[in-house]
Structure 1
Amino acid sequence: MTEWTKDELAVLNEVTTVQNHPFDDNGQSFQDYPIWIVTNHNNVYLRAGKGKDSKWYEAGLKNGGQIEFNGENYAISYVAVDDPQEIKNVTQAYLDKYHGQYPIDMMISDKCAEATVKLVRK
């Protein structure tokens, strides 16, 4: 496991989106789309807009994937977050970073909060 560097965390705090590339069962990226990202306590988080039924959420937990930002690709594991305080902190991070932007109401909903994942570098 590789820790996120201070420089990477700083960039992730500034960028609006990253490209999310979850892997399918064959280790191939099957989706490539921008997604909101937040950091909290030197960790990096995503949420699935459709909750736990999102294809990328299910595939990411099972197979890992990559995110792309600042011209670089990073191999990651998606780790489901179930600690209520950690989820609450991530919700606040979304509010702080994306306040007033669409679709913030969806991203802080219970359905999305239940699909919070921590991105762990490989």
Structure 2
Amino acid sequence: MTTWTSEELTRIGDAEELGVSSLRADGTVRPYVTIWVVRADRDLYIRSAYGPDNPWFRRARGSGAGRIRAGGLERDVTFEQPDDTVHAALDAAYHAKYDRHGPAIVGTVVGSEAATTTLRLVPRRT
């Protein structure tokens, strides 16, 4: 396993949006979907705003690997289930970064239901 560099954490974590793509069975990359990304400590996280049936989320969880692009960077990643202890920090990170968009929108990525659709982004060497 590899880790994020400080520069990657800053550039990706500070980006307003992230493009996420999962891998198909043949190893090719699907089209990118634009979502929000937050940072907690030395990790990056994404959540499905529309629950576990959102197609991009199902595909990412199913394949376990893909690519992201944000902050002028593009990286291969694995999608991992995070530790349950991180969800309060992620809710706070989403509020701090995105509350200016209003409670209706931010409400889709915070709370106990959103916690079930959280993926930790882990850099992957290809």
Instruction: Give the TM-score normalised by the residue count of structure 2.
Output: 0.85
In the TM superposition, residue 112 of structure 1 has moved relative to its aligned partner by 1.9
> Unaligned regions of 5+ residues in structure 1, if any?
none
**Residue 53 of structure 1: aligned partner:** 53
Residue 69 (structure 1) aligned with residue 70 (structure 2):
yes
Equivalent positions of 1:1-122 (< 5 A) are: 1-63=1-63, 64-83=65-84, 85-102=85-102, 103-122=105-124
- Would you say the 8 A contact 2:38–2:44 is kept in 1? yes
Q: How much is the aligned-residue C-alpha RMSD, in angstroms?
A: 1.6
Hey, what's the Cα distance between the residues in 2 that align with 1:2 and 1:81?
A: 16
Instruction: Give the SS at the match of 1:100.
Output: helix
Runs of 4+ in 1 over 2 A off after TM superposition: 24-31
Deviates more, 1:56-65 or 1:87-96: 56-65
- Would you say the 8 A contact 2:79–2:121 is kept in 1? yes
Q: Match for 1:105: what amino acid? A: G
Instruction: Give the SS at the match of 1:87.
Output: helix
In the TM superposition, residue 15 of structure 1 has moved relative to its aligned partner by 1.1
Deviates more, 1:58-67 or 1:102-111: 102-111
Residue correspondences, number: 121
In the TM superposition, residue 73 of structure 1 has moved relative to its aligned partner by 1.6
- Would you say the 8 A contact 1:44–1:119 is kept in 2? yes
Hey, what's the Cα distance between the residues in 2 that align with 1:11 and 1:111?
A: 28
In the TM superposition, residue 32 of structure 1 has moved relative to its aligned partner by 1.3
Q: Match for 1:112: what amino acid? A: A
Q: Match for 1:110: what amino acid? A: S
Give the % identical residues: 23
Instruction: Give the TM-score normalised by the residue count of structure 1.
Output: 0.88
Hey, what's the Cα distance between the residues in 2 that align with 1:71 and 1:11?
A: 8
Deviations 1:66-108 (Å, cap 9, x if unpaired)?
001233320000012251x211111111111111315111111
